[in-house]
């Protein structure tokens, strides 16, 4: 898997973290939720986070899960990021570099969708050494299933709260 390096520090000296992310949306656009699980494999400790927005898209929620998960990391680390979103994985692995080189335009010269979130994800990912992993969604992957539950619960809590 591709790796995004932030600085010249030897990555092997950095702590290793696992970040699992997901997003959920009811309607597209519609109310949506995002979630992450951040785990420190050496200690077994983990933290969960989630949130919701009243009018959003699935892709925006997938991006928010990754952004918020990376923001939860307090010091520079090696991060194995697991997502069921090809949009997030391919974006981090290959599209970002090309988009930036073209002034945040796609190959067909259109503006990048969700530019605000892609720029934010680029900024927070650059603080770490991130390696992405795609996982098939809704396929009994325990952390992916848990993230989905958290994202849906956040979305539902928002909808009930209206």
23 counts as catalytic:
yes
pLDDT at 142: 95
Tens-place pLDDT, residues 79-116: 999 999 999 999 999 999 999 999 999 999 999 999 99
Q: Judge whether residue 3 has pLDDT over 80.
A: no
User: What are the backbone angles phi and psi of residue 54, rounded to the nearest 5°?
Assistant: -70, -30
69 counts as catalytic:
no
pLDDT at 29: 96
84 counts as catalytic:
yes
State the Cα–Cα distance between residues 103 and 56, nearest whole angstrom.
25
Using DSSP's 3-state secondary structure scheme, residue 77 falls into: coil
80 counts as catalytic:
no
Q: What is the 3-state secondary structure (H, E, C) of 139-162?
A: CCCHHHHHHHHHHHHHHHHHHHHC
Task: Give the start-to-end residue ranges of the domains of the chain.
Answer: 3-161
CATH number of 3-161, picked from 3.20.20.70, 3.40.640.10, 3.30.420.10, 3.30.43.10: 3.30.420.10
State the Cα–Cα distance between residues 123 and 120, nearest whole angstrom.
5
148 counts as catalytic:
yes
71 sits in which H/E element:
helix 58-71
Tens-place pLDDT, residues 107-142: 999 999 999 999 999 999 999 999 999 999 888 899
Q: Catalytic one among 53, 62, 68, 143?
A: 62
128 counts as catalytic:
no
Q: Catalytic one among 44, 103, 108, 138?
A: 138
Tens-place pLDDT, residues 42-68: 999 999 999 999 999 999 999 999 999
pLDDT at 1: 53
């Amino acid at each position: 898997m591709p790796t995004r390096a932030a600085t010249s520090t030897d990555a092997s000296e950095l702590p290793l973290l696992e970040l699992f992310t997901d997003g959920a949306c009811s309607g597209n656009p519609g109310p949506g939720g995002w979630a992450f699980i951040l785990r420190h494999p050496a200690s077994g400790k983990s933290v969960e986070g989630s949130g919701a927005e009243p009018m959003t898209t699935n892709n925006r929620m997938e991006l928010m899960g990754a952004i918020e998960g990376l923001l939860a990391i307090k010091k520079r680390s090696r991060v194995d990021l697991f997502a069921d979103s090809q949009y997030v994985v391919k974006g981090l692995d290959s599209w970002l570099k090309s988009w930036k080189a073209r002034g945040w335009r796609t190959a067909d010269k259109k503006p990048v969708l969700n530019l605000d979130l892609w720029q934010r994800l680029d900024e927070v990912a650059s603080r770490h050494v991130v390696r992405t992993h795609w996982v098939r969604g809704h396929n009994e992957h325990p952390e992916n299933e848990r993230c989905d539950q958290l994202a849906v619960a956040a979305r539902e809590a928002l909808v009930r709260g209206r």
